Structure 1
């Protein structure tokens, strides 16, 4: 009986060791893949005051060699932890990248918003609200929202204006026209406009279907890193392409 018990304990210990080894191995990421991920965000990155905060190139961040990484998710957009070797020791930096063109953005350590353009521009807007604005800038412009929803990402809802504004890391990433009270500032188009009007003004690379106007048809690029989506009797402007 004792020998069977010893055998059972040994087997359990062996399984625990194997599981532990597999867990450690799964958490590790080959250095070449970490460096390849860093190439997605290569370049100089500036804060809102125009100060250069990060310089990323050739496997280095701010002149310090990238030696490890962890917790990488997504492709583009995506996120991960880069570990660099500084003179005083190793340092971990969490980076999240999103947006394209004028709206290419890097979020450092889940709080600092960085851009690779000193003069960040936008193309389209709704009631003066454009992609890349901060939460406070929206409230300063439109006033307090009718309500807000913080599930997943924060969404400021302006029911009387026919508008909602979604934010990631305090930055406007989606603007949705929900009613006839709002329209795009540049084109003047809103929820009641035809797909032909949208196609002709924004020069989409494909024709959206009028029959499927209120169902998801994918992203329609309008250039400058901005995309339009249709669905559910709403029209959205976003930095995301999917």
Structure 2
């Protein structure tokens, strides 16, 4: 009798676990409408470093193939997800990660291939010739090997001799931080020692940065072209991100 009760109890627990697992999987699934809405965030043509069009995304279609499913979506803008399309030979899954804005809209396909919304990648501001959207190898070709690097989370190349820190995501420069008095922005010539008035006037910022609030987060200051400045007490960062 005890054996029968034990088996019945185990069967009940197993049934509850199966029901819970089924409901969990169902909750993780996205509707097709939601997947198609996500594709609208990255609608348009996307090009590789040579200017070749690799992807063309329109409502419900990728390269003329219908989007039929999707999964593992996270974030909004930036964000990522897996789109499943119907090709003539069968279904195909494509992992896409999107980030940046303006001239720096970037799409990373299958976690390795970097695509741009412009046929030829452009930039506005730079430091020591390094600009947002540059590849890791291009940085090293230009500046040489960094004094040190840190790959916890995003990768950071430290050029202490130049007063620079260069942040990369997926081997793309997404942030350039001036930490030394010798470094300055190439277009404006401004650096850490420059006044907030000079920054405001040169870049035509939409609001005035406070000289007295450098120790507190003031948020991003857009300089147009999908590029943003962040002011700290001992550093200034140029970034493709606005948060």
- Structure 2 partner of 1:102: 103
What is the CA distance between 1:2 and its match in structure 2? 3.4
What is the CA distance between 1:232 and its match in structure 2? 4.3
Q: 2:99 touches 2:107 (CA, 8 Å); kept in 1?
A: yes
**Can you list the C-alpha shifts for 1:70-118, whole angstroms capped at 9, x where unaligned?**
1101100100000001111110000000111111110000100001111
Aligned Cα RMSD in Å? 1.1
What is the CA distance between 1:5 and its match in structure 2? 1.5
Matched, 1:18 2:19: yes
- Structure 1 partner of 2:38: 37
Aligned runs of 1:61-140 on 2, under 5 Å?
A: 61-140=62-141
Structure 2, unaligned stretches of length 5 or more?
none
3-state SS, counterpart of residue 13 of structure 1? helix
Aligned runs of 1:1-242 on 2, under 5 Å?
A: 1-242=2-243
What is the CA distance between 1:58 and its match in structure 2? 1.6
3-state SS, counterpart of residue 161 of structure 2? helix
The number of residue pairs the alignment matches comes to: 242
3-state SS, counterpart of residue 198 of structure 1? helix
Q: 2:53 touches 2:119 (CA, 8 Å); kept in 1?
A: no
Q: 1:214 touches 1:234 (CA, 8 Å); kept in 2?
A: no
What is the CA distance between 1:204 and its match in structure 2? 1.3
What is the CA distance between 1:22 and its match in structure 2? 1.9
Give me the whole-angstrom Cα distance separating, in 2, the residues matched to 1:179 and 1:11. Answer: 66
What is the CA distance between 1:3 and its match in structure 2? 4.3
Give me the whole-angstrom Cα distance separating, in 2, the residues matched to 1:99 and 1:52. Answer: 19
Give me the whole-angstrom Cα distance separating, in 1, the residues matched to 2:142 and 2:237. Answer: 19
What is the CA distance between 1:214 and its match in structure 2? 3.1
Give me the whole-angstrom Cα distance separating, in 1, the residues matched to 2:29 and 2:13. Answer: 25
Give me the whole-angstrom Cα distance separating, in 2, the residues matched to 1:35 and 1:83. Answer: 11
Give me the whole-angstrom Cα distance separating, in 1, the residues matched to 2:24 and 2:109. Answer: 27
Structure 1, unaligned stretches of length 5 or more?
none
What is the CA distance between 1:61 and its match in structure 2? 0.4
**Can you list the C-alpha shifts for 1:158-194, whole angstroms capped at 9, x where unaligned?**
0011001111111110000011020111111111222
What is the CA distance between 1:226 and its match in structure 2? 0.2
Q: 1:38 touches 1:59 (CA, 8 Å); kept in 2?
A: yes
